[in-house]
């Protein structure tokens, strides 16, 4: 059994639709049977179509229920996949930064000097080293402990007061043997009483390249995951999120009372929605591995999002009815809609033709009219219920797209803030470099400046998100850069005075400055952010220079937005408070232009398509932009394509048309109503023989004017070929018909005759009404000059789409003359 069939009983809305459609199917069977019994001769022309309609409707019912089920499952699956994928990818991006942190801190001169010192010297240096490590943790608040150990595991210094003198954690020996970082998640004596801990370690080498210690950073894993769980899942959500290892064991959980640590979860195929049985209950779940970041895959974890089947299908993304005219690039929905329109069109045609037949059968017409009335009622009920079901399907598909745009914008904002948080940390920590402090405290010299360059190059080699790093002295003169500008040398020039003033005005080592997003000589004229921190002399707090780190915004922001969009069609962008583009995934929106979407959640029309747009403010991460007084006013905006713009998609056939009350029931005019473009027209009932499908219409070469081809139709003595006129050309409709439009009205040369003479192709037929003389108003001469085909205006009662109450009555004589038929016919004779 397919998954969607297994889950159908849990989808209450779909079950209700299935029940209602089944009841309608039974109704059609009853009408078909009663027609064959009560008036078999009168109904012989409509019974085949009724039978075909019932069969088509049964097939449509099965497909509609199937598609509704799949769409509801996809809606839940989308949300689960979004939560799981965002959880693991955001975490891995964060941990990628940790691999660079531990490698850089391991080459810190002060730390190295502390590790090579003898025990007595270490005791004297320990307070200063602890203070230095506290400075580090104050800036990189993702760590709850920083420690250095001797190669034999002896603890040399740490920030917490956890009792430990000698560690037996294997990460020490692993780090000594590795040439790069080591990552380990397990119970450890370096995190006593904390269960498993996520540790990052790197060996510390002396100047001769010998290992003199091991640096260990303890990541605040549980704290970070709480923040991620909160950011990726809406409040009140019933979704549980768990990080699991290769064996499905829960490492971290968003709700430990619900999914406890250490439990084992069933896992479906990667990124596929499936049913998980846990603790005696059934859940829908999606398990996502990380997509990695710059070649880094993290600790090998996966994220699993799960929701109980009891609550999985209760919600849904309600979009209301305000966007019913928005087309969706949804092949299944389009095909179902097309099939529904075909069934409805055929049903209208059979009722229309039945009324034509009833009008020519004298006393037997009452029985057939009664049958047709029942068919009409059943057809209206069917159209309404199917339209409701399709509306549910449509709203679900549209809601999925809008939810996805909103979640992608939220992800983009979160990714940006987390990335820039690291930039604010980096500049403040690097400003504490002993080499920078010593060198900038002294006058410039070639040897000292080369040492600065070496330090900056080493840092830039580890942290590739920067275009360059710049060190400048107390006068704002640039002393060293990690990479020289290709436009003009930066060394020896001066930092912008505004940036210099902002840097030297910082109160302490916890403060940083940021430029506006703008071009700068430091960035080779490319708009970006420059982060700055003051370098202070070791013996006093007075700034003696500064460090400027130039973020490579063009490359990094593009990469963020490309990751967010994936293979989706649309655009993602970061925009400033004035709506100007800071970065965009689409080259049509370069930096500095105004985005056509202001970030308000809405359906918008743009570039020949409908898009669903959403915007989320990048409001900060941890203390960044939340407790440090900084705000860059950036919003993440995502607009996803929905479908091609179309003209009005609601049909005029959805309206209910009734004749107005008349005083004289003996003076009634039977009129056959039809539609061309956005207008309704009518012909006398005896001027039309049949309404047929345009299938078989042959386009004849050299056809001119309104003549479009020939159609073979039944006549009194066998089939005949009749010329076909185009109603759109005759009525001057300027835009093309929809693919589903097209009915051919077969007409005689004179009203009342039974031999076909020509045909008129219209968009669709509507109904047959009996109108009193007082409701038919002849057209004035001046108006007739505009359109010779229209003889009168008919007033009727219309409710629903396009509810104008006037219908144009076609002049049969003028229409016949289009084909060269000379006829003295008058409306009165009709």
Nearest by Cα to 673 from 789, 777, 770: 770
Look at 244-248, 276-280, 291-295, 315-319 and tell me which has the smallest mean pLDDT.
Answer: 315-319
The structure tokens listed for 683 are 């012909």
Task: Return the H-helix or E-strand segment holding 603.
Answer: strand 602-606
- For the CA atoms of 174, 178, 181, 185, the dihedral, rounded to the nearest 10 degrees, stands at -20
User: Does residue 615 surpass a pLDDT of 90?
Assistant: yes
Residue recorded with tokens 């017409």: 365
Q: Rounded mean pLDDT of 369-380?
A: 73
- Tens digits of residue pLDDT in 632-655: 999 999 999 998 876 545 556 667
Look at 169-173, 278-282, 428-432 and tell me which has the smallest mean pLDDT.
Answer: 278-282
Contact at 8 Å (CB) between 196 and 251? yes
Distance CA 344, CA 800 (A): 17
Please, where in the chain does CATH 2.40.50.180 lie?
A: 652-817
Distance CA 90, CA 412 (A): 10
Nearest by Cα to 749 from 667, 679, 689, 829: 689
Contact at 8 Å (CB) between 391 and 324? yes
Contact at 8 Å (CB) between 790 and 808? yes
Give the pLDDT score at 275. Answer: 92
Nearest by Cα to 92 from 303, 296, 304: 296
How far lies 11's CA from each of 18, 24, 65, 172, 313, in Å?
Answer: 11, 20, 11, 54, 6
Confidence grade of residue 702 (pLDDT, cut at 50, 70, 90): low
Q: Rounded mean pLDDT of 214-243?
A: 90
- Non-local CB neighbours of 701 within 8 Å, separated by 6+ positions: none
Distance CA 601, CA 586 (A): 20
Q: Rounded mean pLDDT of 576-605?
A: 90
CATH of span 652-817: 2.40.50.180
The structure tokens listed for 630 are 């900084």
Beta bridge partners of 641: 611
Give the pLDDT score at 653. Answer: 62
Nearest by Cα to 175 from 143, 151, 210, 144: 151
Task: Report the Cα 207 to chain-centroid distance in Å.
Answer: 54
CATH of span 560-644: 3.30.450
The structure tokens listed for 197 are 């801990």
Please, where in the chain does CATH 3.30.450.20 lie?
A: 424-554
Nearest by Cα to 813 from 718, 728, 747: 747
Averaged confidence pLDDT in the chain: 86
Contact at 8 Å (CB) between 757 and 821? yes
Residue 360: strand, helix, or coil: coil
The structure tokens listed for 330 are 């949804």
Task: Report the Cα 806 to chain-centroid distance in Å.
Answer: 43
Q: Rounded mean pLDDT of 71-92?
A: 92
Contact at 8 Å (CB) between 691 and 352? yes
Distance CA 519, CA 821 (A): 78
- Measured from the Cβ of residue 193, the count of other Cβ atoms closer than 10 Å reads 5
pTM over 0.85: no
Q: Rounded mean pLDDT of 788-794?
A: 88
Residue recorded with tokens 């904002």: 413
Domain 424-554 architecture: 2-Layer Sandwich (3.30)
């Amino acid at each position: 059994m397919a998954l969607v069939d297994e889950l159908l009983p849990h989808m209450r809305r779909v079950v209700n639709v299935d029940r209602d459609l089944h009841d309608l199917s039974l109704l059609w069977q009853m009408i078909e049977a009663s027609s064959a019994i009560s008036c078999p001769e009168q109904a012989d022309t409509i019974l085949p179509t009724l039978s075909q309609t019932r069969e088509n409707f049964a097939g449509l019912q099965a497909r509609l229920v199937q598609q509704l089920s799949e769409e509801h499952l996809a809606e839940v699956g989308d949300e689960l996949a979004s939560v799981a994928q965002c959880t693991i990818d955001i975490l891995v991006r964060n941990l990628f930064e940790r691999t660079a942190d531990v490698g850089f801190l391991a080459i810190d001169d002060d730390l190295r000097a502390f590790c090579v010192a003898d025990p007595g010297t270490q005791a004297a240096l320990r307070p200063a080293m602890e203070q230095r490590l506290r400075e580090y943790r104050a800036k990189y608040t993702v760590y709850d402990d920083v420690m250095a150990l001797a190669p034999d595991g002896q603890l040399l210094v740490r920030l917490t007061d956890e009792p430990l003198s000698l560690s037996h954690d294997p990460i020490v020996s692993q780090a000594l043997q590795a040439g790069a970082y080591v990552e380990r998640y397990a119970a450890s004596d370096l995190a006593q009483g904390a269960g498993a801990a996520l540790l990052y370690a790197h060996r510390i080498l002396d100047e001769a390249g010998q290992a003199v210690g091991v640096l260990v950073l303890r990541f605040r894993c549980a704290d970070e995951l709480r923040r991620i769980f909160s950011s990726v899942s809406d409040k009140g959500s019933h979704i549980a999120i768990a990080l699991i290892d290769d064996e499905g064991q829960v490492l971290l959980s968003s709700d430990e009372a619900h999914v406890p640590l250490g439990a084992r979860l069933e896992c479906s195929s990667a990124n596929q929605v499936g049913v998980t049985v846990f603790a005696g209950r059934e859940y829908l779940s999606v398990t996502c591995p990380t997509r990695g970041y710059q070649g880094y895959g993290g600790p090998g974890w996966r994220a699993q999002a799960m929701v109980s089947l009891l609550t999985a299908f209760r919600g849904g993304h309600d979009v209301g009815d305000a966007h019913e005219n928005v087309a969706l690039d949804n092949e299944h929905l389009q095909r179902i809609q097309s099939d529904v329109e075909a069934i409805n069109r055929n049903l209208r045609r059979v009722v229309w033709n039945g009324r034509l037949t009833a009008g020519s059968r004298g006393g037997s017409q009452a029985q057939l009219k009664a049958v047709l009335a029942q068919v009409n009622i059943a057809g209206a009920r069917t159209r309404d219920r199917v339209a409701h079901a399709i509306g549910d399907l449509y709203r679900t598909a549209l809601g999925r797209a809008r939810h996805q745009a909103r979640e992608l914008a939220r992800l983009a904002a979160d990714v940006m803030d987390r990335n820039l948080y690291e930039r604010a940390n980096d500049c403040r920590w690097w400003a504490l470099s002993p080499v920078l402090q010593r060198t900038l405290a002294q006058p410039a010299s070639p040897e000292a400046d080369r040492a600065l360059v070496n330090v900056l190059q080493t840092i830039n080699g580890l942290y590739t998100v920067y275009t360059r790093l710049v060190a400048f002295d107390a006068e704002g003169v640039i002393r060293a850069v990690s990479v020289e500008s290709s436009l003009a040398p930066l060394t020896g020039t001066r930092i912008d005075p505004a940036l210099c003033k902002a840097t030297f005005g910082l109160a302490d080592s916890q403060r940083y400055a940021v430029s506006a997003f703008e071009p700068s000589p430091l960035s080779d004229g490319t708009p970006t952010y420059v982060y700055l921190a003051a370098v202070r002399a070791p013996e006093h707090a007075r700034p003696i220079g500064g460090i400027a780190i130039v973020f490579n915004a063009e490359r990094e922001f593009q990469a963020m937005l490309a990751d967010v969009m994936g293979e989706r069609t649309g655009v993602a962008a970061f925009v400033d408070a004035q709506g100007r583009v800071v970065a965009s995934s689409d080259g049509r929106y370069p930096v500095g232009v105004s985005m056509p979407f202001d970030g308000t959640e809405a359906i918008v029309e743009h570039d020949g398509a409908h898009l669903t747009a959403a915007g989320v403010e990048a409001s900060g991460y941890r203390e960044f932009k939340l407790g440090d007084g900084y705000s860059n006013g950036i919003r993440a905006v995502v607009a996803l394509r929905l479908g091609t713009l179309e003209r009005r998609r609601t049909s005029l056939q959805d309206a209910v048309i009734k004749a107005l009350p008349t005083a004289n029931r003996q003076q009634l005019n039977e009129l056959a109503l039809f539609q061309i473009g956005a207008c309704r027209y009518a012909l006398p009932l005896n001027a039309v023989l049949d309404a047929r499908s345009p299938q078989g219409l042959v386009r004849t070469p050299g056809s001119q004017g309104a003549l479009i081809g020939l159609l073979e139709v039944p006549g009194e003595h066998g089939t005949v070929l009749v010329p076909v006129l185009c109603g759109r050309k005759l009525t001057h409709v300027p835009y093309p018909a929809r693919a589903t439009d097209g009915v051919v009205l077969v007409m005689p040369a004179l009203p009342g005759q039974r031999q076909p003479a020509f045909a008129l192709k219209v968009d669709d037929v509507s109904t047959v009404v009996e109108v009193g003389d007082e409701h038919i108003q002849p057209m004035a001469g001046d108006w007739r000059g505009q359109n010779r085909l229209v003889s009168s205006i008919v007033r009727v009662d219309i409710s629903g789409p396009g509810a104008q109450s006037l219908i144009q009555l076609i002049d049969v004589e003028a229409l016949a003359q289009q084909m060269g038929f000379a006829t003295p016919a008058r409306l009165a004779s009709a």
